[in-house]
Structure 1
């Protein structure tokens, strides 16, 4: 499988691997993807191994792709399923001479993809449905049944991380994911996150804030506004660490982001907040997920920044609404300040 370039999409790609394994328990599944995603692939029991595609995002990397193809050619794959619809994503399987190269029509890649499937957004509205469909016969039902991702958790590493980060093993944790790589039109306000943290602190819970180094400033602002209730882990952990730490959390509150899908895949109950995007396209794949989406007339707009300048699709989702959706919320809980 040639995997996608985003964290959430890579997690959702496990649904395809699970589908392939269900259809043929003896199938050998390897994944070619950007190096940052290898820790996720290592947590997928269905995948034998992951191969690093060193070409950067948007880079053609002709020579790099040829070198990877030479490595794969000796393995002798029967089929490559190419999830991205770009021309460059289909180059390695073609260079490697893999006989069946399956993918959706896109970017004039005739010849590179020889098992071409029509791209049907109406009958496959969700990203994960599109992935799973590529692992089924062309005439299979639309939309297909989608098995939920389920990443494995390293218990020993989990305990070690708590010690390394100075976390109390007896505390009750709630995960916050306030970032969104796509842009601020997908980010619930910092002030709302901070008020929610204070309310959770009064319930005896501790907030762990997860994200990349780019989210460190946002995480710091939440800590400053909520006191010692929250711990800013943005940029202090690797992706594999976040998988293990999110599994420790009693619950999580998140924007529509890659880490939302990680939380869902480790079984953490979560509240997912949608602004400029829609849960109809990339929902959290978990029975323990609750979704807050106002469905305003101007949304979803899928813009990185609110074109109207008010981001009401996010600001009008209040702290009380989120608190009421969290598991085990009691009527006697202190109300948010």
Structure 2
């Protein structure tokens, strides 16, 4: 973890937020465009860096977020193993992402969480963490636990599309470390 952060001129005492922008299942993705808007607003409001973590498959989404939010975004997708991701999350002010292995990892090391929940069932699978906000929409198909959204037209992916950047920012303010 130290080498990766040093390569980006960041140390554990920097004010940074971790975002895991993707999910294996398409039905659990909020989208790089939303994360880009969120990152830009977090940077402006919290005066922080944004660390993007995830697999190499998520690198392109990370680059899209970097283009949208600017040079204070550091795309570490594909550069960290689980141990390094845990170390980075343990010093972060906040983790934002879907209900994923990385969210569970961040919660396990004590990082405050904002979890975006759609097709999953947070009552059964949400990370254990004292400082957490789960954003979930009260719609008919919520908690379908399907990896691909079976809906079409305007209803397609509503569980994630209806989550707004403002909602995520509000939840972040509730749990972020000073």
Q: Find the aligned partners of 1:253 and 1:172 in 2 and give their Cα distance.
A: 15
> Which of 66, 83, 89 pairs up with 1:240?
83
- Per-residue Cα deviation, 1:104-156 (whole angstroms, up to 9, x for no partner): xxxxxxxxxxxxxxxxxxxxxxxxxxxxxxxxxxxxxxxxxxxxxxxxxxxxx
Counterpart in 1 of 2:128?
285
Counterpart in 1 of 2:137?
294
CA contact 1:208–1:233 (8 Å) conserved in 2: yes
Superposed CA RMSD: 1.8
Q: Specify the structure having the higher radius of gyration (Cα).
A: 1
**Offset of 1:324 from its aligned partner?**
0.6
1:322 aligned counterpart, secondary structure:
helix
Alignment of 1:169-208 (within 5 A): 171-181=14-24, 183-203=25-45, 204-208=47-51
- Per-residue Cα deviation, 1:166-222 (whole angstroms, up to 9, x for no partner): 3255531000011212x1100112211111101011121111000011111111111
Q: Find the aligned partners of 2:173 and 2:105 in 1 and give their Cα distance.
A: 18
Alignment of 1:255-274 (within 5 A): 255-274=98-117
Q: Find the aligned partners of 2:142 and 2:168 in 1 and give their Cα distance.
A: 20
Counterpart in 1 of 2:171?
325
The answer as to 2:64 corresponding to 1:221 is yes
4+ runs deviating over 4 angstroms:
none
Q: Find the aligned partners of 2:163 and 2:72 in 1 and give their Cα distance.
A: 22
**Offset of 1:226 from its aligned partner?**
1.3
1:315/1:267 CA distance change after superposition, 3 Å: same
Q: Find the aligned partners of 2:93 and 2:77 in 1 and give their Cα distance.
A: 19
Counterpart in 1 of 2:148?
305
1:288/1:328 CA distance change after superposition, 3 Å: closer
Q: Of Structure 1 and Structure 2, which has the larger fraction of its residues in helix?
A: 2
Q: Find the aligned partners of 2:101 and 2:175 in 1 and give their Cα distance.
A: 26
- State the aligned residue count: 172
TM-score (norm 1): 0.48
1:287/1:186 CA distance change after superposition, 3 Å: same
1:322/1:222 CA distance change after superposition, 3 Å: same
**Offset of 1:227 from its aligned partner?**
1.4
Where relative contact order (Cα < 8 A, 6+ residues apart) is larger, the structure is: 2
Q: Find the aligned partners of 1:198 and 1:329 in 2 and give their Cα distance.
A: 19
- Per-residue Cα deviation, 1:71-129 (whole angstroms, up to 9, x for no partner): xxxxxxxxxxxxxxxxxxxxxxxxxxxxxxxxxxxxxxxxxxxxxxxxxxxxxxxxxxx
Consecutive unaligned residues in structure 1, runs of 5 or more: 1-157, 331-337
CA contact 1:269–1:327 (8 Å) conserved in 2: no
CA contact 2:120–2:143 (8 Å) conserved in 1: yes
TM-score (norm 2): 0.89
Counterpart in 1 of 2:161?
315
> Which of 49, 53, 57 pairs up with 1:210?
53
